[in-house]
Amino acid sequence: MADGSLDPQGPAAESMADLWWLMLSLGVAVFVIFAVVLAVGLFRRRPPEASEPGAEGPRRFHAWMIGAGVAGPLVIIAIVFGATVHAMRGIETTAPPGALVIDVVGHQWWWEVRYPEEGITAANEIHIPVGRPVALRLTSADVIHSFWVPALGGKLDMLPDHTNILVLEADEPGEHVSRCAEYCGLQHTLMTMVVVAEGEEQFASWVAARRQPAPEPADDTARRGRDVFIGTGGCASCHAVRGTTATGIVGPDLTHLASRSTLGAASIPNTPANRAEWVSDPHDLKRGVAMPAAELSPEDLAAVVAYLGSLR
Ligand code: CUA
């Protein structure tokens, strides 16, 4: 998984990485010049006549003061300022025409993802087509979070009472990690997400599959799991599974849960064992999470896990 702002995978991240390298090279150059001048000053032998008072000393001192102390820093700051303004102007802050619009809502501690034009609701996993700008409309349902996919662009705050727009684009197919970049409580560290950049065709088939309601359970165990999920288990009061009577909005939409690669906001791999552990004791995996531990008989737990596994 490519993951880092110094391994840019899109135009916005690239301009920021270029700016970072420029600042690093200027900083290194200044440090090297400073170190050389300091070394020369420390180790050169004083000529015997230097102790004699004369006009040469003060004049050289003034030249150094004005050159290295005033003019040099001004030039360097002007270069960095110009490059920063240039990079900022190159980054879009409104949705460009033809952009894919995705609404992302931060929750403690997961990500709600909606594609308004495609009519899709997902969670903790964003799919985007390669080579097409994506306008993310960012907001929060509770505290301040911050959206950040280091490989694709800069971070932007997710505020409860305001929508910020972040425009990203991926140059190549790949999977990237997104992290919450604003401390938002106990599980801020485990507020992660997977961003999958894929070809237009793959993306279109992902969209088509996500638009479908949840598949009918194929066997008795999964059917029993669905009944527990909607009934006695109480899962449906927080989670939605499209195509069923489960329409909760407190927790992530689980319509296609089994097709996602992770659980718990990208904190653990989505395997049957982890699903069972998550349902029976989510606090063991992610302390402080809003989901209560389900009090289910072993048979009901196995049935719910089988049902969740059928939600492709
Ligand atoms: Cu959400 Cu930190």
What CATH number should be reported for the domain holding residue 249?
2.60.40.420
Nearest to 194, CA basis, from 159, 156, 149, 252: 149
Q: How far is the CA of 144 from the centre of ligand 1 (A)?
A: 7
Per-residue pLDDT of the chain (312 residues; tens, 9 = 90+): 546 788 888 888 888 899 999 999 999 999 999 899 899 889 887 766 655 555 677 788 888 888 888 888 899 999 999 999 998 888 888 888 889 999 999 999 999 999 999 999 999 999 999 999 999 999 999 999 999 999 998 789 999 999 999 999 999 999 998 999 999 999 999 999 999 999 999 999 999 999 998 888 888 888 899 989 888 888 888 999 988 888 888 889 999 888 888 888 888 888 988 898 888 888 888 888 888 888 888 898 989 999 998 888
Q: Are residues 245 and 154 in the same domain?
A: no
Cα separation of 235 and 126, whole Å?
Answer: 24
Q: Are residues 189 and 259 in the same domain?
A: no
Q: How far is the CA of 156 from the centre of ligand 1 (A)?
A: 12
Which ligand 1 atom is the nearest neighbour of the CA of 184?
Answer: 2
Q: What residues contact residue 171 under an 8 Å CB cut-off, 6+ apart?
A: 9, 10, 11, 130, 131
Nearest to 228, CA basis, from 305, 309, 304: 304
Burial of 207 (C-beta count, 10 Å sphere; 0-12/13-18/19+): middle
Cα separation of 312 and 310, whole Å?
Answer: 6
Question: Would residue 267 count as lying in a domain?
Answer: yes
Q: How far is the CA of 73 from the centre of ligand 1 (A)?
A: 37
Task: Indicate whether residue 182 lines ligand 1 (CB < 6 A).
Answer: yes
Q: Are residues 262 and 185 in the same domain?
A: no
Task: Indicate whether residue 188 lines ligand 1 (CB < 6 A).
Answer: yes
Q: How far is the CA of 39 from the centre of ligand 1 (A)?
A: 47
Task: Indicate whether residue 296 lines ligand 1 (CB < 6 A).
Answer: no
Task: Indicate whether residue 180 lines ligand 1 (CB < 6 A).
Answer: yes
Question: Would residue 76 count as lying in a domain?
Answer: no
Residue for token pair 């995996």: 285
Global pTM reads 0.84
Question: Would residue 294 count as lying in a domain?
Answer: yes
Task: Indicate whether residue 193 lines ligand 1 (CB < 6 A).
Answer: no
Question: Would residue 43 count as lying in a domain?
Answer: no
Cα separation of 224 and 299, whole Å?
Answer: 9
Beta strands of the chain (E only): which ranges?
A: 100-107, 110-115, 120-123, 125-129, 134-140, 145-148, 156-158, 164-168, 174-180, 192-198, 262-263, 268-269
Hey, whose CA ends up nearest to atom 1 of ligand 1? 145
Q: How far is the CA of 210 from the centre of ligand 1 (A)?
A: 26
Q: Which of 194, 211, 228 is the last residue of a domain?
A: 211
Q: Are residues 201 and 109 in the same domain?
A: yes
Question: Would residue 1 count as lying in a domain?
Answer: no
Q: Are residues 150 and 191 in the same domain?
A: yes
Q: Are residues 264 and 305 in the same domain?
A: yes
Q: Are residues 106 and 148 in the same domain?
A: yes
- Which domain does 240 fall in, by range? 220-310
Task: Indicate whether residue 183 lines ligand 1 (CB < 6 A).
Answer: yes
Residue for token pair 């102790």: 51
Q: Are residues 133 and 184 in the same domain?
A: yes
Task: Indicate whether residue 138 lines ligand 1 (CB < 6 A).
Answer: no
Q: How far is the CA of 256 from the centre of ligand 1 (A)?
A: 24
Q: Are residues 141 and 240 in the same domain?
A: no
Question: Would residue 156 count as lying in a domain?
Answer: yes
Q: Are residues 183 and 228 in the same domain?
A: no
Q: Which of 211, 232, 252 is the last residue of a domain?
A: 211
pLDDT at 195: 94
Task: Indicate whether residue 189 lines ligand 1 (CB < 6 A).
Answer: no
Question: Would residue 206 count as lying in a domain?
Answer: yes
Which ligand 1 atom is the nearest neighbour of the CA of 108?
Answer: 1
Domain count of the fold of the chain: 2
Question: Would residue 237 count as lying in a domain?
Answer: yes
Cα separation of 251 and 228, whole Å?
Answer: 17
Locate 172 and state its tokens. 């190549």
Task: Indicate whether residue 106 lines ligand 1 (CB < 6 A).
Answer: yes
What length is written for the chain?
312
Q: Are residues 251 and 195 in the same domain?
A: no
Q: Are residues 200 and 117 in the same domain?
A: yes
Q: Which of 189, 211, 233 is the last residue of a domain?
A: 211
